[in-house]
Structure 1
Amino acid sequence: MDYLVETIILGVDSIIFITCIRNYYKKKNAMAMIQGAPYLNINKDLKEIVLTHPEQKLSYVSIRGTVKPLGKPIISNNNTDVEGVVQLLRIKEHVIQRSTTGFWNDSERVIQEVHNIMPFSLENKGIEIEIMDPLAAEILDMDVISDVFHPSVPSVMDHIWGFFAGIRQRGIQSTEKMLRKGTMITGIGELVYSKDGNVLQLQPPSSGAPFYLTNMQVTSLIKKLENSKKNYRWLCLLFGVVGIVIGGIMVRKYLKHRSRALQDAEIKRQLEESRRERRKKTRTTDFSDNQICVVCKTNPIEIILLPCGHVCLCEDCSVDIQDSCPVCRTVIGKKSVAYVV
């Protein structure tokens, strides 16, 4: 219990530190892979390039083209003039909730989230590359078509109920995002040739490398990852220092307690030694055989063991015997001083 608070703080700090370390190396590795990925122009020679590679695929490449739906595009719910291939519809509930400390804080939760997807490709000069599983992309840039907040108008009873229940509704937020038709985006992933459809496909890499569909150029994406990596590096340093400080406090407290325990043990030993010397000086040597301690066979009996009632130990030997009576092996429940005459 002496280290409970420090242990909890150190545990939380360690979890955050490990998370930051993982994200730091994740961003670092992603940057290295993107920088090493070749940029390929979408043209008629691209298919031949893929076919010449083993397994007819390129493990990690970067391409850039215009979004083209492979069929009838999705029409926006809030703007009929907007057409796209990936649509996100999200409904959030905003509430004011009372915390355990008694303060009221804003919070939100997603009530519903729906994705609508139309198969699409990246096109340039009549050459198309089909995009597979766009929702698996680590970055999927979409335009916000609509973001509306509908505030709630609570009645008097709602205010009363919210006060006692500890939660008050602020309103509902409806958001629509869409990857628009005709948007110029950069795709980074695994480029394969599909024999079934006789088409080129860009898909999430089988190696586990990050998959991107972004409207940024490759250089802008690398810069964004670099900034994110720097932020995680500073967080790693911060929580690393906090962990070292907390660990140092725990070590200092342990050494202090250990030093105090050693001092107390030494004082106890000296007092016990002093008591033994005083007992030797005050003991008489005129006693019969049945008054001698059964253990040391030197000192007189001075301690009664309960519940058996045997008076068979001197005070010095009783310190080391804690479990059972040396005469009858009964478990010792209590020791008391006995005055033998």
Structure 2
Amino acid sequence: MDGFPVTLTEAVCLGASFGFSGLFYYLYKKSWITANKLQNAPHFTIDEKLKDLLKVTPETCLQYAVIEGHVKPVDEHLSSQFKKEIVGVLQKITLKEHRLVWSGFSHIWMDDERILHQRVNTLPFALAGTDRTVVRVLSPLEAAGKYTEVTYEKFNQASFGLGDLLGQYVSGVKPKGHLEIEEMLKVDTILTGVGELKLNTDGTLSLRPPSDGSQYFLSIADFDTLQREHDSMAAWWKALAVASALAGAAVLLWVGLRYYDRWRVQAKKEQDRKEFARLRAEAERQHANEAGPRAVLDGSYRENICLICLSEPRDCVLLDCGHVCCCYLCFQSLPQPKCPICRQDIVKVLPVYHP
């Protein structure tokens, strides 16, 4: 049998499907661990009872806890660059360029954007509870989650002359304009924090990134929304992992079925060859006393020579058409099971003996 019947396309699809399934499974496990930790994280109200609880907790620390409170600046606050009445504790200003880029592969203009400039300003802040108790929020820029609101957004359309238009077609880049965005974490926003909660030696409370590597969260959404988002993300990665694995299994099954079909055809050919050899041997034994030496190239032998190879005698009859035109080796070499004379389908082959 020839080599294993896997084409280059099938090999690439098989490797890609299993590679993606492994990647998606890794992302699913990571998301599932995060969602499971969120589900099991204890919830606490910011008040004096929280301090009392941490005092009796080992190392005065809770590895993973959920709190919710109003954002308050520790000292002073930030004012919006565009709307002075808006104040906050964290400000992010981003300048993006929107443009069209010519794709040499698809031969179309495609939308693209890139960040030209980004500036982040932050001031110390805390989460205030029902009483005067506050929890200082540390390293907010390391937190995942949506914890800012867009306070200003403006798109400035690009303008250019004829020379610029010609340059755009040469360079393959058409600027559309610039988008300026300001995002802020405003004072008095209700913020959900998930991380390591610690009572410091000076009696203050702080929320910081977990020391065990768990995901640190700050979000303006409530905890239930945050939990649902990560449950959905884990389910999505799981579905992609299963779909990729099934695609790889389908390609593998397709290759296996084709391999089995090729093996079955080859096995049938081998079985027919052995049956033909057996029938031929029986015919030769029956005519052993009458047969002349084949090596004598008399007129009868030349008339019975194979029409394909022109070297071996015609030793088989093709059914159902009944033509005797080739040797058995040439019959096995036919690209399709059709008679070389009349092109009818060959149903069966029997040996024929010429005395």
After TM superposition, the score normalised by the length of structure 2 is 0.69
Query: Which residue in the other structure is 2:347 paired with?
Result: none
Change (3 A) 1:170 1:51: same
CA contact (8 A) 1:66 1:182 kept: yes
Q: Which residue of 2 aligns with 1:165?
A: 171
Q: 2 CA distance for matches of 1:107 and 1:15?
A: 28
Q: Which residue of 2 aligns with 1:11?
A: 15
Instruction: Give the conservation status (yes or no) of the 8 Å contact 1:87–1:117.
Output: yes
Give, as a single letter, the amino acid of the residue that structure 2 aligns with 1:22. Y
Residues 166 and 68 of structure 1, relative CA distance in 2, 3 Å threshold: same
Which residue of 1 is the match for residue 186 of structure 2? 180
2:101 to 88, 97, 105: 97
Question: Aligned letter for 1:61?
Answer: A
Determine the C-alpha separation between the residues in 1 that align with 2:14 and 2:85. Answer: 55
Distance 2:266 2:110 in 1: 47
Matched residue SS, 2:9: helix
What stretches of structure 1 of length at least 5 have no aligned partner?
268-280, 283-341
Superposed, 1:1-341 pairs within 5 Å as: 3-99=7-103, 100-124=105-129, 125-195=131-201, 197-253=202-258
Q: Give the percent of matched residue pairs that are identical in Structure 1 and Structure 2.
A: 24
1:13-47 C-alpha deviation (Å, 9 max, x unpaired): 33432332223223322222122111111111211
Note the C-alpha offset of 1:145: 0.8
Q: Distance in 1 between matches of 2:268 and 2:108?
A: 48
Is this contact kept in 2: 1:84–1:179, CA < 8 A? yes
The 8 Å contact of residues 134 and 140 in structure 1, kept in 2 or not, is answered as: no
> Shift of residue 180 of structure 1?
0.6
Counterparts of 1:260 and 1:165, CA distance in 2: 58
Q: Take 1:218 and 1:183, find their aligned partners in 2: how far apart are those partners?
A: 14
Give the partner amino acid of 1:192. K
Cα distance, 1:82 vs structure 2: 1.0
In 2, are the aligned partners of 1:3 and 1:250 still within 8 Å (CA)? no
Distance 1:160 1:266 in 2: 73
1:257 Cα deviation from its structure 2 partner: 6.5
Change (3 A) 1:262 1:106: farther
On the 8 A contact 1:142/1:178 being kept in 2, the answer is yes
Q: How far has the Cα of 1:187 moved from its partner?
A: 0.8
SS in 2 for 1:67: strand
Q: How far has the Cα of 1:254 moved from its partner?
A: 5.1
Asked if the contact 2:125–2:137 (Cα under 8 Å) also holds between the matched residues in 1, the reply is yes
Looking at structure 2, the residues matched to 160 and 265 of structure 1 have their Cα atoms a distance apart, in angstroms, of 70
Q: Kindly indicate whether the alpha-carbon contact (under 8 Å) linking 1:74 and 1:83 is maintained by their aligned counterparts in 2.
A: yes
CA contact (8 A) 2:6 2:255 kept: no
The amino acid of 2:189's aligned partner reads T
Displacement after TM superposition at 1:207 (Å): 1.4
Mapped to 2, the partners of 1:87 and 1:134 lie a distance apart of 12
SS in 2 for 1:45: helix
**Range that drifts further, 10-19 or 59-68:** 10-19
Q: For residue 2 of structure 1, report the CA deviation from its aligned partner.
A: 5.7
User: Across the two proteins, how many residue pairs are aligned to each other?
Assistant: 277
User: 1:229 deviation in Å?
Assistant: 2.7
Distance 2:12 2:160 in 1: 41
* Unaligned residue ranges in structure 2 (runs of 5+): 273-293, 296-355
- Tell me how far apart the structure 1 counterparts of residues 206 and 199 of structure 2 sit (CA, whole Å): 6
SS at match of 1:72: coil
Q: Distance in 2 between matches of 1:26 and 1:161?
A: 47
Q: TM-score, normalised by structure 1?
A: 0.71
Q: Which residue of 2 aligns with 1:330?
A: none
> For the Cα contact (< 8 Å) 1:97–1:107, is it kept in 2?
yes
> Does the aligned pair in 1 maintain the 2:74–2:124 contact within 8 Å?
yes
Q: Partners in 1 of 2:123 and 2:246 — Cα distance?
A: 49
Q: Partners of 1:257 and 1:148 in 2: how far apart?
A: 65
Q: Return closer, same or farther for 1:248/1:153 CA change in 2, 3 Å cut-off.
A: farther
| 2:207 counterpart letter in structure 1 | L
Q: Give the 3-state SS of the residue equivalent to 1:176 in structure 2.
A: strand
Q: Aligned partners of 1:126 and 1:150: how far apart in 2?
A: 45
Coordinate RMSD, CA, aligned: 3.1
